[in-house]
Amino acid sequence: TWTRTLEDGYLTEPYKVVSLIDPATGYTSGQLTELRPNTRLRRDVMASSVYHFDQDVFYLSYRYYWDDWGVKSHTLDARWRKPLLDGSWVQPHLRIYTQTAADFFRFGILQGDPLPAYATSDERLGPLHDVTIGATYGFHVDPWRGEWTIRGEFLEQWGDGHPASAVGAQRDINLFPPVGVGSLVVGYTVGD
């Protein structure tokens, strides 16, 4: 599949700020409200396939995304559904994602430098990577006719937290520290 989306309007996050950085110490000396362009052209191409073996089913998809803000990303998603002897099933899941930063992404603006036309420190527009691993277990319980599922996943996200542009104290810390998020979801699907 291929999609193209044009956004037009106020795209700035009004509560996001960009730090002004003292060029000698690397400490924050002030802040500015971020400013993003008023238009964004997004495009992506996605290929997906399902392989049905004798009993198992393998799902695989790949998505390439790019926009006129300079963000480019790759997403690979794989699931393998394996039936078990008692009518239940298990489905491991792996998702890998990586993206480049928007052209106007900054960890901060050096005090005294000319202000750029656009700037953001929003990590969602930064150079980031994430990996999700998990599994779903599905089963039936009499007398209910539906199916129960239990899904557990863990996502680890990190970025380039030690850029060459870091100054002073910034060189001693990770400006994009890793984030880990776990989830557990229980579901029930009504059957006939």
Q: What is the pLDDT of residues 113-148, one digit of tens each?
A: 999 999 999 999 999 999 999 999 999 887 777 899
Do 98 and 129 contact (CB within 8 A), yes or no? Answer: yes
Q: Could you give the CA distance from residue 166 to residue 119 in angstroms, rounded to a whole number?
A: 16
This prediction has a pTM of 0.89
* % of the chain residues with pLDDT over 70: 99
Q: What is the pLDDT of residues 6-65, one digit of tens each?
A: 999 999 998 999 999 999 999 999 999 999 999 999 999 999 999 999 999 999 999 999
Do 36 and 3 contact (CB within 8 A), yes or no? Answer: no
Dihedral sign, Cα of residue 170, residue 173, residue 174, residue 178? negative
